[in-house]
Structure 1
Amino acid sequence: MDVELAVVGEQDKVVLANLIQLYQHDFSEIRDLPLTRHGTFGYPYLDHYFTEGGREAYFIEARGELAGFALCRGDLDEDGSWNVAEFFVARGHRGRGVAREAARRLFARHPGVWTLSVDHANTAAAAFWSSVVEELATGPVTAVDLADPVPRTRLRFRVA
């Protein structure tokens, strides 16, 4: 599978913002995400990926085409772990192994402990991440159910 992660530079922030709109639109099927008066979804953390250390933004490319994005944060728990904050593959690239390979490449950038949370209402994501983590984790996977701000399961695992 020809999948690559490309670092999102500040000059491409508008492209990432456009992809986040598609991601939020998909997510609005399971969570109440209101539109702004401009007909867009809000995402208050975008600028943080270009102004704060410990945050990384990547475009997911499949066969040379833009296919999605991955956002991650380091030291979320102040223990050196990394967190998958947002992960999105556009519908036309789903079901072809693009997301799995992109996740594999993302984790390979920072071997060690990772966390991610999956909204209980997002059954497709829950199945995907459970499968990916089971395949790639070295050692035990910890799953903790959380309720605030939405019901979700937080996975904690180590990758080589």
Structure 2
Amino acid sequence: MNIELSLLPYEDKTVLYNLIQLYRYDSSEFDGHVLNKHGLYLYKYLDHQWTEEYRRPFIVKVDEEIAGFVLVSLDVPKEYMKLSSAEKTNTISDFFIMRKYRRRGVGKEVAFSLFDQFRGTW
């Protein structure tokens, strides 16, 4: 199983939007997200992934097939982080692995890859 984590270019924004629909549906029983009148889940920070310097949208692929996404914020100043005492902090704001790939170590490998790539306080 080949697991690949790569930055998602703005040109592929629709891919992330579609994956967010699956993610929001999957988690709606826990977080209370509801469909809008068009039958879609809203995600107001979609464009922010490419317009705010500290945000990074990653796509996860397994054997070249889309398997999920991770939205990361790097070196976020402490004034934006309510719980952090570190000067700057890295955060994972959203992490989604499709059900087909869960319990196979994909999420764990992706998380460790991020932690290795971006050293610092998480």
Amino acid at match of 1:5: L
Question: Does 2:81 match 1:81?
Answer: no
Q: Paired residue for 1:8? A: 8
In 2, Cα distance between the equivalents of 1:2 and 1:104?
Answer: 15
1:23 counterpart = 2:23: yes
User: How far 1:39 moved relative to its partner?
Assistant: 0.3
Match of 1:148 in 2: none
Detail structure 1 runs of 4+ shifted over 6 Å in the superposition: none
Q: Partners in 1 of 2:5 and 2:120 — Cα distance?
A: 19
SS in 2 for 1:71: strand
| TM-score of the two chains, using structure 2 as the length reference | 0.88
Paired residues for 1:1-160 under 5 Å: 1-78=1-78, 79-114=87-122
Higher relative helix content? 2
Q: What's 2:84 paired with?
A: none
TM-score, normalised to structure 1's length? 0.68
RMSD, aligned CA: 1.1
Q: Deviations over 1:106-130 (max 9, x none)?
A: 111211110xxxxxxxxxxxxxxxx
What residue ranges of structure 2 are gaps of 5+ in the alignment? 79-86
